[in-house]
Structure 1
Amino acid sequence: MQKTILITGSTDGIGKLAAIKLAGDGHAVYVHGRDSEKLHSVISEIKSITKNENVDGFTADFSDLDAVKQMADQINKDLPKIDILINNAGVFKSPESHDKQGLDIRFLVNYLAPYFLTGNLIPLLNNGIDPRIINLSSAAQSCVSHDALSGKANLSQAEAYAQSKLALTMWSFHLAQAMPGIAVIAVNPGSLLNTKMAAEAYGQYWSSADKGADILYDLAVSEVYKGITGKYFDNDKESFGPAHPDAYSKTDIDKLIHITQNLLSIER
């Protein structure tokens, strides 16, 4: 059965590779990037490789929540449903560490933008068949500083990244309980995959980017994962496993969601 699939951050890296694999199966795939010229080039490339004309995309800079809202509005206008949402967009290094409101770019791109986008796309996901949300977490997870999330304290790039990924994981578990009709899985696609992000951050890699793309593909469409929700898949171990302990604390999750909703209300 053809699925309607949206993959954020899919003009390169594992997002792009997953888009190619899914389009190759004949699914309707929507890619996303922050640069419209690159986005259209990738769309043409995927169509050429897969011979699938049902490939399109959307442009938004995820460090700008107004742009995310515009993208969400466009998606709601253009699509009747979404079966699979892969929140893959992420950032480690950035020329600008904070936005104009003082929010850390890592928290914005890796957590607040997917949180905000997904919230705006819930009606389309509810229209989907066996809807699934795959959130790209990381092996790097660190206790979330509410002051840092709110832009009241500064962190190193690595610490902000790790905290943003734990925030994403905590929200994933919250969303799985809040939306029982939608399967939600947080996934570490693999440590130090051969991607631009890993090269910029660490200057080395341990595994092929295909390792990450393959698990995104499987979690998105494999019958093996049908109905599984509220779990963390650790692709370093190639199995479900424990996330950071804070991801299982209702008190910590409730605090995070409260602060997040307040932040998004202020940003809006």
Structure 2
Amino acid sequence: MNKTVIITGSTDGIGKLTALKLAKDGHKVYVHGRSEVKVSKVVEEIQNATNNQNVKGLVADFSDLQAVSNLVNQIKEENSSIDILINNAGVLKSQTSQNRSGLDIRITVNYLAPYILTNGILSTIKKADAPRIINLSSAAQAPVSEAVLIGKEQVSDNNSYAQSKLALTMWSFRLAQEEPNITTIAVNPGSLLNTKMANEAYGQHWSPAEKGVNIIYDLATSERYKNDSGKYFDNDKGDPQGQFSPAYIDAYNEAKIIELIEITDKILDR
């Protein structure tokens, strides 16, 4: 059965390769990026490679939260239901450390944008049969500071990245509790995969990008994972494929999760 799939940050890296893999299966796949030219190019490339004309484009700069809200409206207008949402878009190294609102760029793109997008289209996701949300976490997870979250304090790129990924994981677990009919899984696709992000940040890679692509694809589509909502999959804990493992301890702290969501909603309301 063909599904409707949205993959954020899918004009290169594991997002693009996952979009290609899903398009080959005949699904309706939305490719997302911040450049209209690049999105159009990748959509055409995947259409030609898969002979699937049902590959569409979405354009929004995730550092601009209003653009994310606008994207929500577009998605809801174009789709009666969404089967799979893969929150893959992410940033580590950036020429600017903050967005125009003074929020950390990594917190914004890696956590706040998927939070807005997912909650905005949640009613559409819930209309699908057996929907799934796959959130791209990381082996890098660090305690979330309110000062960093609200843009009051700046820390290193790596630290704010790790905070953003723990925030995403904490919220993933909460979402799984609140929406038992949606399979929500957080995943570390693998450390230092051969992607633009890893090579720009560290100048090296440990594993091929396909390692991450394969687990994202499996988590999103395989019947084997339909009862694994609210878990964290660590693709570093095994070869060639990882396993479900504990996330950072704060991801299981109910009080800290509640506090995170309260602060997040205050940021987005201001």
Q: TM-score range by the shorter chain?
A: over 0.9
Give the aligned partner of residue 156 of structure 2: 156
- 3-state SS of 2:184 partner: strand
Give the aligned partner of residue 62 of structure 2: 62
| Deviations 1:179-212, CA, capped at 9 Å, x for gaps | 1111100000000000000011111000000111
Extract unaligned runs of 5+ from structure 1. none
Deviation at 1:99, TM superposition (A): 1.4
Deviation at 1:75, TM superposition (A): 0.4
Give the aligned partner of residue 260 of structure 2: 256
Deviation at 1:265, TM superposition (A): 0.8
Instruction: Tell me which amino acid in the other structure corresponds to 1:240.
Output: F
Instruction: Tell me which amino acid in the other structure corresponds to 1:253.
Output: I
- 3-state SS of 2:37 partner: helix
Cα distance in 1 between the residues matched to 2:100 and 2:52: 40
TM-score normalised by length of structure 1: 0.98
Instruction: Tell me which amino acid in the other structure corresponds to 2:267.
Output: L
Cα distance in 2 between the residues matched to 1:148 and 1:127: 36
Count the aligned residue pairs.
Answer: 266
Cα distance in 1 between the residues matched to 2:149 and 2:138: 18
| Deviations 1:194-243, CA, capped at 9 Å, x for gaps | 00000111110000001111111001111111132000000111100000
- 3-state SS of 2:41 partner: helix
Give the aligned partner of residue 202 of structure 1: 202
Extract unaligned runs of 5+ from structure 2. none
Deviation at 1:100, TM superposition (A): 2.1
Cα distance in 2 between the residues matched to 1:227 and 1:241: 15
Give the aligned partner of residue 192 of structure 1: 192
Identity of aligned residues (%): 61
Instruction: Tell me which amino acid in the other structure corresponds to 2:69.
Output: K
Query: Is the aligned partner of 1:71 residue 2:75?
Result: no
Give the aligned partner of residue 82 of structure 2: 82
- 3-state SS of 1:263 partner: helix
Give the aligned partner of residue 251 of structure 2: 247
Instruction: Tell me which amino acid in the other structure corresponds to 1:211.
Output: K
Give the aligned partner of residue 36 of structure 1: 36
- 3-state SS of 1:253 partner: helix
RMSD: 0.6
Aligned pairs for 1:1-268 (under 5 A) are 1-237=1-237, 238-266=242-270
Runs (4+) of structure 1 moved beyond 3 Å? none
- 3-state SS of 2:95 partner: coil
TM-score normalised by length of structure 2: 0.98
Instruction: Tell me which amino acid in the other structure corresponds to 2:266.
Output: N
Instruction: Tell me which amino acid in the other structure corresponds to 2:211.
Output: K
- 3-state SS of 1:11 partner: coil
- 3-state SS of 2:121 partner: helix
- 3-state SS of 1:159 partner: helix
